[in-house]
Amino acid sequence: MASAPAPTAPTSPSVLLDAAAEQTRIALLAEAERFSLALRWAHAHPAPVTDAVVDELGDLVMYADQPATLAGEGAPGMSEFAIAEFATACGLSTYQGRALIGAALEAHHRLPRLWSKVMAGDVAVWKVRRVTEQTHRLPPGAAAEVDTVLAPIIGTCSYAQIEKTVAAAAARVDDEHEEMERLDRWQQQHLEVRLDAAALNGGLVPVSGLLDYVDAVALEARLKTGAALLGEAHPDLSLDVRRAMAAGRLGTTEGATSREVVVYTHHEPDQIHDILDIEGNHGRLGHTTIEQIAQWCQLAGTKVTIKPVLELDAEISVDRYEPSTAQREQAILTCPTCVFPGCSKSARGCDLDHITAYAQGGTTTSWNLAPLCRYHHRLKTFGHWTYRRLGRTRFEWTSPSGRIHHVDLTAKRRRTR
């Protein structure tokens, strides 16, 4: 018979608080060391010297490793391909690794006082990274001014103080700063339609952005007019709903097909409810009802496409380099994102890669095809990364230094029957 565990010895509050303070200090120093390693990795992989290659239209064509500028003026660049290996070693996506290395370069080369405080464990890395987000666009003099002003107070600085200090320093150092800021703000215009977030909102898609004032006034006028017209046909709908519907009808002409909606409904034969799991061309939409599907199909100007169910475990082959439409669809439904470690880019925006290169005897079969985003496709083709398929949704990647990284997309795999 197992003996009862020994009672835990009482610990005084002062001992617990001292231990908590010590662990906090250790955590700060550990994160500072990783920050330092990011800098040393960048220094060990300087930007390659390459000749620019342009196509017949004059656009830059990127094949092999390219110089990556991750910090402001005066900080060195580095190898673009080297970013991915450091990121995967840290358990980060390539994008996250790029941001971490860029912040380390910015802090060390352009904010030396703040860098010293991080290395001493006096301030957290995340707080200095908040500063680097604001300073990497500044000229060297303005960055040095920010470093001088913030270093003594960074430990108690709020985000608002950081932004205010950066703006004031830039204005003092650069008399053209305000005009540059205006141009920079103008270039920040964007309109984002988050189709990839539909699953998080029950099939509703978040839309956000920044528009120039004149364009925003014009859009508002179109939405008002559209909502008013919809009010005649749908008097029971709220103004907010009608405005949202009007946005979806921008550009629609009477009798014309303005949009094609392709959705995949996943429903098991033994399910007696009317709730369907829905996927669109841009990713999973979540769950909805048969009535909602019927409503989408009845919207004016919408083309409805019905596609056959694909067997994801079938081995489809073609005797050519270019995959067939069925192979591409099968690959996307099997692996809905890029299969590189940590990458979450939707497979619908990815290249379909031959795992074993076609030129090296790789066939165009289901087992030899996987989605890779353009950057990671270049990395695999020119950056000495290799990978092999362990299962339909499992892959093993080997980095240029020989480190092994496993990817398992089983949880993301679509059900089609």
Here the CATH number for the domain that contains residue 336 is 1.10.30
Q: What is the reported pLDDT for 400?
A: 95
Q: Could you report the per-residue pLDDT of 366-393, keeping only the tens digit for each? A: 999 999 999 999 999 999 999 999 999 9
Query: DSSP string of 151-213?
Result: TTTGGG--HHHHHHHHHHHHHHH-TTHHHHHHHHHHTT-EEEE-GGGGGGGTT---EEEE--H
| Single-letter amino acid, residue 395 | F
Domain-located, residue 57:
no
Whether 299 and 322 map to the same domain: the answer is no
Last residue of a domain, one of 273, 304, 335: 304
Q: What is the reported pLDDT for 416?
A: 46
Q: What is the reported pLDDT for 283?
A: 52
Lowest mean pLDDT among 268-277, 302-311, 317-326: 268-277
pLDDT at 52 over 60: no
Whether 203 contacts 278, CB under 8 Å? yes
Q: What is the reported pLDDT for 187?
A: 76
Mean pLDDT for 330-358 is 92
Query: DSSP string of 260-329?
Result: EE-EEEE--TT--S-EEEEEETTEEEEEEEHHHHHHHHHSTTEEE---PPP-TTS--EESSSSPPHHHHH
Domain-located, residue 340:
yes
Whether 42 and 158 map to the same domain: the answer is yes
The CA distance from 235 to 227, in Å, is 10
Whether 243 and 126 map to the same domain: the answer is no
55: confidence class by pLDDT, cuts 50, 70, 90: low
Backbone angles phi, psi at 357, to 5 degrees: -55, 140
Mean pLDDT for 349-368 is 93
Whether 30 and 177 map to the same domain: the answer is yes
Whether 31 and 172 map to the same domain: the answer is yes
Strand 67-68 and strand 78-79: the pairing is: antiparallel
* Residue span of the structural domain in which 110 resides: 22-49+63-181
Percent of the chain with pLDDT over 70: 75
Last residue of a domain, one of 243, 272, 304: 304
Whether 397 and 257 map to the same domain: the answer is no
4: confidence class by pLDDT, cuts 50, 70, 90: low
pLDDT at 143 over 80: yes
Structural domain count of the chain: 3
Whether 233 and 100 map to the same domain: the answer is no
- Average pLDDT of every residue of the chain: 83
- E strand or H helix at 103: helix 94-110
The CA distance from 392 to 354, in Å, is 14
Whether 321 and 298 map to the same domain: the answer is no
Domain-located, residue 14:
no
Q: What is the pTM of this model?
A: 0.71
Q: Which two tokens stand for residue 168?
A: 């004031």
Domain-located, residue 375:
yes
Domain-located, residue 245:
yes
Whether 141 contacts 178, CB under 8 Å? no
Task: Specify the higher pLDDT residue, 225 or 58.
Answer: 225
What lies within 8 Å, CB to CB, of 254 at 6+ separation is none
Domain-located, residue 6:
no
Interhelix angle 94-110/112-119, nearest 10 degrees: 110
Whether 215 and 163 map to the same domain: the answer is no
Whether 75 and 114 map to the same domain: the answer is yes
Task: Specify the higher pLDDT residue, 30 or 195.
Answer: 30
Pick from 21, 33, 20: which is nearest to 118 by CA?
33
The CA distance from 143 to 73, in Å, is 10
Q: What is the reported pLDDT for 237?
A: 85
182: confidence class by pLDDT, cuts 50, 70, 90: low
Whether 271 and 407 map to the same domain: the answer is no
The CA distance from 42 to 222, in Å, is 50
Lowest mean pLDDT among 35-39, 115-119, 199-203, 258-262: 258-262
List C-alpha distances in Å: 221 to 85, 225, 258: 50, 6, 21
Lowest mean pLDDT among 7-21, 265-279, 308-322: 265-279
Domain-located, residue 209:
yes
Mean pLDDT for 159-186 is 71
pLDDT at 172 over 80: no
Largest CA distance in the chain: 82
Whether 170 and 35 map to the same domain: the answer is yes
Lowest mean pLDDT among 30-44, 177-191, 233-247: 177-191
Lowest mean pLDDT among 96-100, 102-106, 296-300, 403-407: 296-300
Whether 54 contacts 143, CB under 8 Å? no
Q: What is the reported pLDDT for 216?
A: 82
Whether 374 contacts 341, CB under 8 Å? no
Domain-located, residue 309:
no
Pick the most confident of 179-183, 294-298, 401-405: 401-405
Last residue of a domain, one of 304, 330, 349: 304
